[in-house]
Amino acid sequence: MTIAHPFTNDYSRSAHPKILEDLVCLGTRAFEGYGCDELTTQASQLILEACEAPEGAVYLVHGGTQVNALYVDFVVRPWQSVVCVESGHIATHEAGAVEHLGHRLVTLPADEGRMDAAVLEDYLRSWRDSQLREHMTEPGLVYISQPTELGTLYSRKQLEALARVCRSFDVGLYVDGARMGYGLASEANDVSLADLSRLTNAFTIGGTKCGMLFGEALVIPDAAHAGSMRTLIKAHGALLAKGWLLGVQFLTMFRDDLYTSITRTANERASRLTATFIDAGFEMLIASPTNQIFPVLPLELARELIETFGVYEWEPVGESRLCVRVVVSWATTDEDEAALHEWVRSHALR
Amino acid sequence: MTIAHPFTNDYSRSAHPKILEDLVCLGTRAFEGYGCDELTTQASQLILEACEAPEGAVYLVHGGTQVNALYVDFVVRPWQSVVCVESGHIATHEAGAVEHLGHRLVTLPADEGRMDAAVLEDYLRSWRDSQLREHMTEPGLVYISQPTELGTLYSRKQLEALARVCRSFDVGLYVDGARMGYGLASEANDVSLADLSRLTNAFTIGGTKCGMLFGEALVIPDAAHAGSMRTLIKAHGALLAKGWLLGVQFLTMFRDDLYTSITRTANERASRLTATFIDAGFEMLIASPTNQIFPVLPLELARELIETFGVYEWEPVGESRLCVRVVVSWATTDEDEAALHEWVRSHALR
Amino acid sequence: MTIAHPFTNDYSRSAHPKILEDLVCLGTRAFEGYGCDELTTQASQLILEACEAPEGAVYLVHGGTQVNALYVDFVVRPWQSVVCVESGHIATHEAGAVEHLGHRLVTLPADEGRMDAAVLEDYLRSWRDSQLREHMTEPGLVYISQPTELGTLYSRKQLEALARVCRSFDVGLYVDGARMGYGLASEANDVSLADLSRLTNAFTIGGTKCGMLFGEALVIPDAAHAGSMRTLIKAHGALLAKGWLLGVQFLTMFRDDLYTSITRTANERASRLTATFIDAGFEMLIASPTNQIFPVLPLELARELIETFGVYEWEPVGESRLCVRVVVSWATTDEDEAALHEWVRSHALR
Amino acid sequence: MTIAHPFTNDYSRSAHPKILEDLVCLGTRAFEGYGCDELTTQASQLILEACEAPEGAVYLVHGGTQVNALYVDFVVRPWQSVVCVESGHIATHEAGAVEHLGHRLVTLPADEGRMDAAVLEDYLRSWRDSQLREHMTEPGLVYISQPTELGTLYSRKQLEALARVCRSFDVGLYVDGARMGYGLASEANDVSLADLSRLTNAFTIGGTKCGMLFGEALVIPDAAHAGSMRTLIKAHGALLAKGWLLGVQFLTMFRDDLYTSITRTANERASRLTATFIDAGFEMLIASPTNQIFPVLPLELARELIETFGVYEWEPVGESRLCVRVVVSWATTDEDEAALHEWVRSHALR
């Protein structure tokens, strides 16, 4: 990559210096293998405290597609399906991982990336009332993301509404938090980890996109339902021999709130950039309060922005404009940010 | 772990200092995600050169269970099975990963950890000639390990015999090389990576147990058969976002032969320890020319060895003796080795 | 069921009397098990002749969901998906059978139940050109039905267009012919079994809904690709011990064209009933040339029709009308037909 | 087949005349589809009464491999395995159906076809106590057959011992009763259907080998655990559209005890044939009290028996003898039996 100031994604650079430092500090100390080490234990403890889930269990695995497939495989029975929005990551860019393990996905239309409680309820009711119900998979788990694929957030009220619907139909609720750090640190956010413990059956806290080398924490607030997960992780080829590699990174992240402090900075940069885009006369596809923003530009300008800053084309808007995805990350520097402000201002529509 | 000089396994300590150094050196440079980076490309190139497989393909994934399940899933069809020895790792300690993906395992008796070509041929012939053949899975792939679970090696001649049988029955041959480094560096070894390229359909070069933080390289010598593997890796939840973490480590390993130099040292230590055990009057379960050795001790002594050096109990030998597994690793130090020599000598049977 | 003249579906009554007669005639003659008998061989031969596929292979299994899942499992690789229309039977009422075997479904919007070649081509092109292609399943097989779920038919030209797109993207084409008899016997049809042999990779000829007790024939015109299918059928729990039960039924069906003669009668009844509905002032949702027709009635009338003739509610049309599905079957009698004509005329809108 | 008096197996001939008669009697009466008909309800009721399981559930499917795979898939979780003896049908001749659905099989040595409670307990204890337990699948279900593959029976005491071990390790117990009729009707048998209801989690009552065209009844004595089974049956492609075909056959079988009366006759023939073999100086491989017997003959005689009566070669006994499997079925006639007695006597060893 020869892009000086990339805004491509939040996983193209190594890890926060503190992570690397703590990793190297361990030298060649010996640890118990497969996540039975004390660093993993301590990290899990810290995470459960942050989640206010003393009875919970935490499992650390290396990646987001893996952790999603793992939890689905753990709870969804062979006659059941997973319900998500059409733009849900498991439905679009996880190469059919959920289906490959034998589980059907059912997709609902999204509202700015979110699943609407009323839409979900309609679907669940129509399934329950169908003459042909036995010929259709039973909804077993609802999958949502916080933040969503569009950078938007569920409010606590929206999450409570979904949880209520799920409970009334006896369907589980799972939250993919691959970018949870950016969500937690958002000014617009009113959903805490403790809220997630209270309202969901499980959720993840993503590290890969939030400053770690790799690593996602699966939190199951009610550990009574977590027996034999480690054997399933092994069966998925996801029980890292040197599991303490995950432990040490999450420990660094959750000691002294590094997790939300570096993501907060990213959100603030994104917020300032949004303001600059708007001042310069560009529309935003959506009002995103996290680290991904979606400006809409005339085709030619969009092409230049893509080339200069390595951003992704998102979708066409009408005939003559293009929405692009600008991703600020924990690694974005003041220089990166300044370069983008400068470009936007110098290409202002007014 | 409070064991001063552990001989428990070869994956309890971090990575070779050169690995950590090269990793930290990258700073926060940005890379293409998902293994499309230049470090991965260079590492793959180096590996293919070492394997003398210019037409081959290399895929880097994080762990051994994952890479085994991945290749099986890639080539074994739904009506086929995988044939391995009873002590094969996929048949014992991978939590049913292969079966979980829908593939049956058929196990044959082992000869010092190895599959015997004649035993394989008998099985394949009995399947082919069975009246009920259509009611049994078709053998699709033979899985062996080099070194085996007992630290023994296939000779080139033995491997050629297996390859001949496989070809004559149109069955693939796959070699799990989780400890390949120790095999390549063994004085007793006459099987090169180029031999593996010539004789097998695929094999792995293990990093996790040979001095890397994690990482296994899957080598497919004839890349014509390697289309769409990356999508399957993604479907397995095994396409690391920061794939260059694998690339940088393998690059370090295969530049300047670090891979075989650190494993050679481990083998030499194991060889000296074997001599000391024998001099002290202990039998070895098996003559292992690699880093895992299997002394047989009277029960009480065995228990003390287990406690002092953290070694694993392997299996009872008669009523009053126990075989233990002593694993020397790339990280074993002169002090570790000296401590074990000392213990053996001071507990000599004669 | 206490409905005197049911138009509920085409599988609620036993089998055509000739089928039962031929079955009983066999007495207690002994046959080779698992479909290796001479009746199955003869039936397969007759079917291949009807399909003008002398190099083909035929597999007889008991049901439609089974045969669909079987062929998908036989050809679709773990990194691939099946493409079908949203109303495709595998996507709606087969309880996730395809996904349960590990294969993702991708659905496209339907045009009167049909997949449009241009829509398919757009999808395949968008997949091929996507930056994130490797993160999405590769299209491996296109699934369509003839007749469709709405009773409509693909013309030969439409089928050729689909086949051309499939070939140009190297994707297989499969036709679910659960109601093939009604399709072949339709006046509107110009697609012969020989056309299907020429244009598709595989298709089925359904017996269950066309007058047999049970049974679907899977035809693979190019048998070079059909090795080991019988083992897969066994692995699916679908290799009937008394396989000749399927053989004898298909033999009866394909000797003297019973298959198309009884379905032709059903189509003619459906056609006359359509005319009566239209004369009576009712709209049809769709112009179906086969045995399923879809009249639209005011809510109250629809409810009465449902109750009296056991037909299924299909979907609401606007606020005040309902579309119902009227199914004529091979077993529908003159009395049944007369009763429905009578009801429609006496409830005419004008 | 040109064999005048076949003793090949118990599924080569159609169905008991009463079955065919009752089937034909139904004419073209219309039934609810997919097993929601009154015949299926009545048959299930009769079966539950015979099993003294008023709270139980019955599911009728077409074949033995299907019903085994179905129940395993219904209860065995992704991290669990099925434990059976090496000669168990699911481990030998079901083409990997259980593994194909993602579940590992663990095999134990058999004692005359039976699983020994002490052997099972040893295995379960060794798993529970293993250091590497989390790297091995958790035993989830024990699979046995009554009668076994060798025609032998579990006594009530043996079954109780197995049930006790299963319960103490919280593992399910499932009995494959593909030939249950011959077991129930055996003079040596002391295990009733009510015993099975009391001691197991589920068992099957086989029809295919006991005089029906096809059909196996899965009995789950405690129906509280039977939710959504019908959707799973559909997902397995095993929900017969004309489900009443199964209902009518089981109804015939369980009304007036046809099921045990025709199998009792077969057992009596087998018992008389055993006596004749022994009188003629032949050894039996095993003392089987059901319809399958296993005489051992000098090679040449064995070959002649195989050719004349179509029996299967079972296994070599020493260098010069062969064990063959002679299967008496519900369809075996007085003439068949007389012909075999005659042959044995005229080839007597003394």
Q: What angle do CA B236, B239, B241 make, to 5 degrees?
A: 140
Instruction: Say if the Cβ atoms of B12 and A24 lie within 8 Å.
Output: no
Instruction: Say if the Cβ atoms of C235 and B78 lie within 8 Å.
Output: yes
Residue-wise burial string across B243-253, b where 16 or more C-beta atoms lie within 10 A, e elsewhere: bbbbbbbbbbb
* Residue ranges of chain B whose pLDDT lies below 70: 1, 225-226
- The pLDDT, as a whole number, for residue D27 is 85
DSSP string spanning A303-333? HHHHHHH-PEEEEEETTTEEEEEEE--TT--
- The pLDDT, as a whole number, for residue D226 is 67
Of D101, D133, D230, Cβ closest to residue A134: D230
Structure tokens at C91: 């996507």
Work out the average pLDDT over C198-202.
Answer: 98
Taking CA atoms, C87 is separated from A78, C60, C112, C143, in Å, by: 22, 26, 9, 11
Instruction: Say if the Cβ atoms of A138 and D34 lie within 8 Å.
Output: no
Tell me, what DSSP letter sits at residue C111?
A: B
Instruction: Say if the Cβ atoms of B137 and D96 lie within 8 Å.
Output: yes
Helix, strand, or coil (residue B250): helix
Chain D residues contacting A, CB < 8 Å?
Answer: 34, 73-74, 77-80, 101-102, 133-138, 228-232, 234-235, 239
Instruction: Say if the Cβ atoms of B102 and D104 lie within 8 Å.
Output: no
Instruction: Find out whether B81 and B114 touch, Cβ atoms under 8 Å.
Output: no
Work out the average pLDDT over C61-70.
Answer: 98
Instruction: Say if the Cβ atoms of B30 and A23 lie within 8 Å.
Output: no
Partners of A204 in the beta sheet?
A: A218
- The pLDDT, as a whole number, for residue A350 is 80
CA A153 to chain centre: 11
Instruction: Report how far residue C326's alpha carbon sits from residue C340's, in angstroms, rounded to the nearest whole number.
Output: 10
Q: Which residue has the tokens 């403790």?
A: A194
Instruction: Find out whether A158 and A99 touch, Cβ atoms under 8 Å.
Output: no
Query: Residue B80: in which H helix or E strand, if any?
Result: strand B80-85
Instruction: Report how far residue D69's alpha carbon sits from residue D92's, in angstroms, rounded to the nearest whole number.
Output: 14
Instruction: Report how far residue A192's alpha carbon sits from residue A159's, in angstroms, rounded to the nearest whole number.
Output: 11
DSSP string spanning D221-250? S-GGG-TTHHHHHHHTT---TTTHHHHHHH
Helix, strand, or coil (residue B317): strand
Residue D86, min C-alpha distance to chain B (Å): 12
Instruction: Say if the Cβ atoms of A135 and C102 lie within 8 Å.
Output: no
Structure tokens at A37: 């080490």
DSSP string spanning D77-145? -TTEEEEEETT-HHHHSSTTHHHHTT-EEEEE--BTTBPPHHHHHHHHHHHHH-TTGGGSPEEEEEEEE
pLDDT tens-digit readout, D105-133: 999 999 999 999 999 999 999 999 998 99
User: Per-residue pLDDT for D224 more than 90?
Assistant: no
- Within 8 A of A135 by CB-CB distance, chain D residues are 34, 231, 234, 239
Instruction: Report how far residue C312's alpha carbon sits from residue C314's, in angstroms, rounded to the nearest whole number.
Output: 6
What are the domain boundaries of chain A? 17-257, 258-346
Structure tokens at C19: 């089928």
DSSP string spanning C279-343? HTT-EESS---SSEE-EEEEHHHHHHHHHHH-PEEEEEETTTEEEEEEE--TT--HHHHHHHHHH
Taking CA atoms, B256 is separated from B252, B259, C23, D119, in Å, by: 8, 8, 76, 53
Higher-pLDDT residue of A131 and C335 is C335
- Using omega within 30 degrees of 0 as the cis cutoff, is the peptide bond preceding B147 cis? yes
Instruction: Report how far residue D320's alpha carbon sits from residue A73's, in angstroms, rounded to the nearest whole number.
Output: 53
Query: Residue C233: in which H helix or E strand, if any?
Result: helix C229-235
pLDDT tier for residue A205 given thresholds of 50, 70 and 90: very high
Of C30, C64, C245, Cβ closest to residue D1: C30
- The pLDDT, as a whole number, for residue C313 is 94
CATH code for C17-258? 3.40.640.10
- The pLDDT, as a whole number, for residue D227 is 73
- The pLDDT, as a whole number, for residue B109 is 97
Instruction: Report how far residue B314's alpha carbon sits from residue B321's, in angstroms, rounded to the nearest whole number.
Output: 11
Instruction: Report how far residue B44's alpha carbon sits from residue B38's, in angstroms, rounded to the nearest whole number.
Output: 10
Task: Report whether CATH 1.20.140.10 matches the domain B17-257.
Answer: no
Task: Match domain A258-346 to its CATH number in 3.90.1150.10, 3.40.50.1360, 2.60.40.290, 3.40.50.720.
Answer: 3.90.1150.10
Instruction: Report how far residue C281's alpha carbon sits from residue C297's, in angstroms, rounded to the nearest whole number.
Output: 9
Q: Which residue of B has its CA nearest to D76?
A: B100
Chain B residues contacting D, CB < 8 Å?
Answer: 78-79, 81, 92-96, 99-105, 131-132, 134-137, 312-313
Instruction: Report how far residue D282's alpha carbon sits from residue D176's, in angstroms, rounded to the nearest whole number.
Output: 31
Work out the average pLDDT over A107-130.
Answer: 97
Chains in contact with D, where contact requires at least 3 CB pairs less than 8 Å apart:
A, B, C
- Within 8 A of C135 by CB-CB distance, chain A residues are 93-95
Instruction: Report how far residue B341's alpha carbon sits from residue B282's, in angstroms, rounded to the nearest whole number.
Output: 13
- The pLDDT, as a whole number, for residue A18 is 96
pLDDT tens-digit readout, C74-87: 999 999 999 999 99
DSSP string spanning A68-81? HHHHHHHH--TTEE
Q: Within 10 Å of residue C130's Cβ, how many Cβ atoms?
A: 12
Show the beta-strand stretches assigned E in A40-137: 57-61, 80-85, 104-108
DSSP string spanning A207-276? -TTTTSSS-EEEEESSGGG-TTHHHHHHHTT---TTTHHHHHHHHHHHGGGHHHHHHHHHHHHHHHHHHH
- The pLDDT, as a whole number, for residue A226 is 67
Instruction: Say if the Cβ atoms of D27 and C6 lie within 8 Å.
Output: no
Of B31, B64, B234, Cβ closest to residue A12: B31
Taking CA atoms, D20 is separated from B269, C24, C27, C214, C244, in Å, by: 77, 7, 9, 16, 15
Work out the average pLDDT over D192-211.
Answer: 98
pLDDT tens-digit readout, D308-326: 999 999 999 999 999 999 9
Instruction: Say if the Cβ atoms of B99 and D94 lie within 8 Å.
Output: no
Structure tokens at C7: 């138009």
Instruction: Say if the Cβ atoms of C228 and B73 lie within 8 Å.
Output: no
Of C95, C131, C136, Cβ closest to residue A95: C136
Query: Residue C84: in which H helix or E strand, if any?
Result: strand C80-85
Instruction: Say if the Cβ atoms of C231 and B77 lie within 8 Å.
Output: no
Q: Which residue of C has its CA nearest to A77?
A: C100
CATH code for D259-346? 3.90.1150.10
DSSP string spanning A193-225? HHHHHHH-SEEEEE-TTTTSSS-EEEEESSGGG
Instruction: Report how far residue A98's alpha carbon sits from residue A82's, in angstroms, rounded to the nearest whole number.
Output: 9
Q: Which residue of C has its CA nearest to B234?
A: C135
Query: Residue A182: in which H helix or E strand, if any?
Result: helix A180-184
Work out the average pLDDT over A249-264.
Answer: 96
pLDDT tens-digit readout, A280-319: 999 999 999 999 999 999 999 999 999 999 999 999 999 9
Query: Pairing state of beta strands D202-206 and D172-176?
Result: parallel
Superfamily of domain B260-346: Aspartate Aminotransferase, domain 1 (3.90.1150.10)
- The pLDDT, as a whole number, for residue C223 is 87
- Using omega within 30 degrees of 0 as the cis cutoff, is the peptide bond preceding D17 cis? no
Q: Is A131 exposed, middle or buried (0-12, 13-18, 19+ CB in 10 A)?
A: exposed
- The pLDDT, as a whole number, for residue C226 is 67
Instruction: Say if the Cβ atoms of B137 and C235 lie within 8 Å.
Output: yes
> CB pairs below 8 Å between A and B: how many?
146
Residue-wise burial string across B150-182, b where 16 or more C-beta atoms lie within 10 A, e elsewhere: bbbbbebebbbbbbebbeebebbbbbbbbbbbb
- CA-CA-CA-CA torsion sign (C93, C99, C103, C107): positive
Helix, strand, or coil (residue D308): helix
Residue B133, min C-alpha distance to chain D (Å): 9
Residue C93, min C-alpha distance to chain A (Å): 5
pTM over 0.95: yes
- The pLDDT, as a whole number, for residue C259 is 97
| Contacts with D325 (C-beta within 8 Å, 6 or more apart), sequence order | D292, D293, D294, D311, D312, D313, D314
Which site among C231, C233, C234 would you substitute to test the B interface, given the most B Cβ atoms closer than 10 Å to its Cβ? C231
The residue type at C329: S
Instruction: Say if the Cβ atoms of D77 and A228 lie within 8 Å.
Output: yes
Structure tokens at B296: 């047989």
Of B32, B237, B242, Cβ closest to residue A236: B237
- What is the ipTM, given to two decimal places? 0.96
Separation of first and last alpha carbons in chain B: 32
Work out the average pLDDT over D202-225.
Answer: 95
Instruction: Report how far residue D111's alpha carbon sits from residue D87's, in angstroms, rounded to the nearest whole number.
Output: 10
Separation of first and last alpha carbons in chain C: 32
Helices A258-279 and A334-346 cross at an angle (nearest 10°) of 10
Of B8, B94, B331, Cβ closest to residue A234: B94
Chains in contact with A, where contact requires at least 3 CB pairs less than 8 Å apart:
B, C, D
- Within 8 A of C231 by CB-CB distance, chain B residues are 79, 133-138
User: Per-residue pLDDT for C274 more than 90?
Assistant: yes
Of C11, C14, C97, Cβ closest to residue D26: C14
Query: Residue B325: in which H helix or E strand, if any?
Result: strand B321-327
Residue A117, min C-alpha distance to chain D (Å): 25
The residue type at D225: H
Alpha helices, H only, chain D: 17-25, 38-50, 64-75, 89-92, 97-100, 117-129, 156-168, 180-184, 193-199, 229-235, 244-254, 258-279, 299-309, 334-346
User: Per-residue pLDDT for A11 more than 90?
Assistant: yes
